[in-house]
Structure 1
Amino acid sequence: MRTKNVLAALTAAPLAAALIAVPAHAATAAPACPAPTKAELKGQDDSDKPAKGTKALRGVRVRHLPKGFTNGWLSAMKDNGITEYGYTWSDNRDDIDLAHRSLWVRVVCWPKATKLSHLKKLPVSGGTFAGNPRTVKLGGRTVLRKEGDGALGHGRFVGWVERPGVVVTVMASQPLVPELAAIVRGIKL
């Protein structure tokens, strides 16, 4: 009798697994794009002193965060089906001081972004890849790269498509450019 029960259990397990299978669309769905909370969308006027650490953005980890940041602030916006969610770390020097250290990490949720060339058409007001950005390998990723301009400040601006619909951009001021590869490598969603 015991043998029959064991055989019945062994036969029933695969049958149950087949009947309770996860739907195909659920098994292949990509993780959602990190997005700000409603509170973060509303309350962006405050700066953080001291700046938040590597987990300043929900769903984003900046595992290589240079030392010496004193201020930080969140930026979040939703418009026309696009969500921008970023955090800027900064020291207390004036923005025009070439020794000023700042790092801006942003995630843009844009369903049309599926390949690197789409970044040239990124529908955002600031931090775009207009002009002639170069495609380079940096931190183990293929990224678009351009030099910072007046609007972004001095330094280097890079971006990549993390997965379809999810764009990551990073702006590092000139003193942080030597660490940019480590910063890019350390960003995990």
Structure 2
Amino acid sequence: MTRMRVFAVLSALSFATALTATPAQAAERPACPVPTKAEAKRSSDAKTDKPPRGAAAIKGVRVNHIPKGFAYGGVSVNKHDGITEYGYQWRDARSEESRKHRSLWVRVVCWPKASKLTQLKNAPFGMGTFSGSTKIMKIGGRQVLTQVGDGALGHGRYVGWVERKGLVVTVMGSRPLVPELAKIIKGIEL
């Protein structure tokens, strides 16, 4: 019986420690993933990763569900108007005009003014704006703004959400990946 009490006390202490550590850990977490100078240079030099990077392709972001079949990838960094856009795009070897072309683009945007989902319609993104007919939906457990991919982004579905104040996440999945979009979105961790 004594062992059971010790175990119960230790379990309660571990639980209490976890509860008190969570706010401290959140305070230590950076407000927004920021690309390194090396990543910015890779982006400006249009360096290609063959094979593409995996789940940790974007520093500070984990993409836990990446569909198979990508041949290459590349980082993208864009800084303008007080915001930083930082992402990674996975692609297969098919022509972009092919309806079977597979591509996935995940991006984080450090935009200090971002706090509500509806703001994404007027976001000052350099590329991938929500300029078409948008809808608010729940996908992958997140409330997102979504639209059908337009010509600039390719075919498929484009979604975005405000993860927390000042941090926006966008995902563009080509048409063959749309059925997996919920898994992709649900698997993104910051």
TM-score (norm 1): 0.83
Note closer, same or farther for the CA distance 1:49–1:137 as it changes in structure 2 (3 Å cut).
same
Q: Does residue 30 of structure 2 align to residue 31 of structure 1?
A: yes
Alignment of 1:164-179 (within 5 A): 164-179=165-180
**Percentage of pairs with the same residue:** 61
Note closer, same or farther for the CA distance 1:29–1:59 as it changes in structure 2 (3 Å cut).
closer
Deviation per residue, 1:16-73 (Å, 9 max, x gap) = xxxxxxxx9x985763200110111122221010011111000000001100111100
> What corresponds to 2:54 in structure 1?
53
Amino acid at match of 1:139: G
Structure 1 counterpart SS, 2:107: strand
Deviation per residue, 1:81-114 (Å, 9 max, x gap) = 1000000000000000000000000000000000
> What corresponds to 2:81 in structure 1?
80
Matches of 2:53 and 2:33, distance apart in 1? 17
Note closer, same or farther for the CA distance 1:187–1:177 as it changes in structure 2 (3 Å cut).
same
- How far residue 132 of structure 1 moved from its aligned partner, in angstroms, is 2.5
> What corresponds to 1:12 in structure 2?
none
Matches of 2:180 and 2:55, distance apart in 1? 15
> What corresponds to 1:156 in structure 2?
157
User: CA-atom RMSD, angstroms?
Assistant: 1.8
Matches of 1:30 and 1:119, distance apart in 2? 24
Matches of 1:140 and 1:31, distance apart in 2? 23
Structure 1: which 5+ residue stretches go unaligned? 1-23
Deviation per residue, 1:159-184 (Å, 9 max, x gap) = 00000000000000000000000000
Count of matched residue positions in the alignment of Structure 1 and Structure 2: 166
Alignment of 1:176-187 (within 5 A): 176-187=177-188
Matches of 2:81 and 2:71, distance apart in 1? 34
Matches of 1:36 and 1:28, distance apart in 2? 20
